């Protein structure tokens, strides 16, 4: 076996997110949450299938929203809701922010 025979996935950019089975990890986590809930809470195929399909749908919706919004949109949403406070706040006199 030569080195050329070994398949190594190269990411398109250096700062690209890690992938699992050609899906970004954060999208896979949304799907696997529903899959795990389906495995833990159901014992028949129909409710499990409902969780499985819901996981696919919500992962697709999350991926579509994530790709259509600016980088850091979900963190901004978490700060806006008040679930997490930012580590530092800009000085109160700063009203206009440029670049970034």
For 31, counting Cβ atoms within 10 Å of its Cβ (0-12 exposed, 13-18 middle, 19+ buried), the class is buried
Confidence of residue 56 (pLDDT cuts 50, 70, 90): very high
20 against 49, higher pLDDT: 49
Report the distance separating Cα 87 and Cα 89, nearest Å. 7
Mean pLDDT of 86-93: 75
pTM over 0.75: no
Q: What is the pLDDT of residue 73?
A: 82
38-to-30, 62, 92, 96 alpha-carbon distances in Å: 13, 19, 47, 47
75 against 34, higher pLDDT: 34
What 3-state DSSP class applies to 56? helix
Sequence spans of domains, the chain:
3-70
* pLDDT digits 0-9 by tens, 26-55: 899 999 999 999 999 999 999 999 999 999
């Amino acid at each position: 076996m030569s080195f050329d025979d070994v398949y190594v996935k190269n990411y398109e950019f250096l700062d690209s997110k890690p992938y699992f089975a050609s899906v970004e990890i954060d999208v896979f986590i949304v799907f696997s949450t529903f899959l795990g809930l389906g495995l833990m809470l159901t014992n028949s195929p129909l409710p499990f299938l409902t969780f499985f399909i819901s996981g696919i749908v919500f992962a697709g919706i999350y991926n579509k929203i994530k790709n259509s919004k600016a980088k850091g949109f979900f963190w901004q949403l978490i700060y806006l809701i008040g679930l997490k406070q930012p580590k530092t706040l800009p000085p109160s006199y700063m009203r206009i922010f440029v670049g970034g």
